[in-house]
């Protein structure tokens, strides 16, 4: 130990470095938000995205938009694991949502995130609508979100389920 540094200072420095490393690790691997669901499937990425689109339509919801960093990277000649965000909602829910809470409008459309796993399969991650809208503290918004919870669960289940 450096004679110019006391034991207390060295212990404090060690604690600061350890906590800093812990904080950096947490920032790189944050825990999911409350109400987050992840379903690992046996389907390949492109197949799962296609199945999700079919399930969205079959459950009478709308695919509002889609974004994919892996497609963007591929356009630049870079290969990264597949990922896509499918943004899902329906206008009648949008009208009800805004009647209950204009600030909640930032949450729509709701998102389904498809990621390619290391083994070539893909997973779906989403937040239950009731968890997304809970912070707004509106009984009408909560009621609408509770209606949407089983709709999103069914979309994911339909997409992830193997054909019998």
Number of domains in the chain: 2
pLDDT tens profile 102-156 = 999 999 999 999 999 999 999 999 999 999 999 999 999 999 999 999 999 999 9
User: Could you tell me the residue range of the domain that residue 88 belongs to?
Assistant: 32-160
Rounded Cα gap, residues 96 and 91, in angstroms: 9
Same domain, 10 and 76: no
pLDDT tens profile 73-96 = 999 999 999 999 999 999 999 999
The pLDDT, as a whole number, for residue 52 is 98
155 CB burial (10 A radius; 0-12, 13-18, 19+): buried
Same domain, 68 and 43: yes
Same domain, 4 and 74: no
Same domain, 24 and 38: no
pLDDT tens profile 27-41 = 445 557 899 999 999
pLDDT for 70 beyond 90: yes
User: In which band, very low, low, confident or very high, does the pLDDT at 65 lie, cut at 50, 70 and 90?
Assistant: very high
Same domain, 19 and 36: no
The pLDDT, as a whole number, for residue 23 is 43
pLDDT for 12 beyond 50: no
Same domain, 53 and 133: yes
Same domain, 63 and 136: yes
Same domain, 51 and 62: yes
Same domain, 155 and 143: yes
pLDDT for 7 beyond 70: no
The pLDDT, as a whole number, for residue 30 is 59
Same domain, 98 and 146: yes
Domain at 144, CATH number: 3.30.310.70
Same domain, 141 and 124: yes
Same domain, 143 and 89: yes
């Amino acid at each position: 130990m450096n004679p110019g540094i006391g034991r207390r200072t060295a212990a404090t420095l060690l604690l600061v470095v350890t906590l800093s490393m812990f904080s950096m690790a947490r920032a790189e691997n944050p825990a999911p938000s409350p109400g987050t669901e992840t379903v690992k499937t046996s389907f390949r990425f492109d197949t799962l995205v296609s199945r999700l689109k079919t399930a969205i339509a079959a459950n009478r919801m709308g695919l509002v938009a889609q974004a994919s960093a892996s497609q963007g990277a591929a356009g630049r000649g870079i290969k990264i694991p597949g990922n896509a965000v499918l943004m899902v909602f329906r206008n009648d829910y949008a009208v009800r949502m805004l009647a209950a809470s204009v600030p909640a409008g930032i949450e729509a459309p709701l998102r389904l995130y498809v990621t390619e796993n290391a083994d070539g399969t893909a997973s779906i991650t989403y937040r239950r609508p009731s968890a997304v809208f809970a912070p707004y503290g509106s009984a009408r918004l909560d009621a609408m979100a509770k209606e949407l919870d089983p709709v999103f669960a069914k979309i994911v289940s339909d997409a992830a389920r193997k054909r019998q």
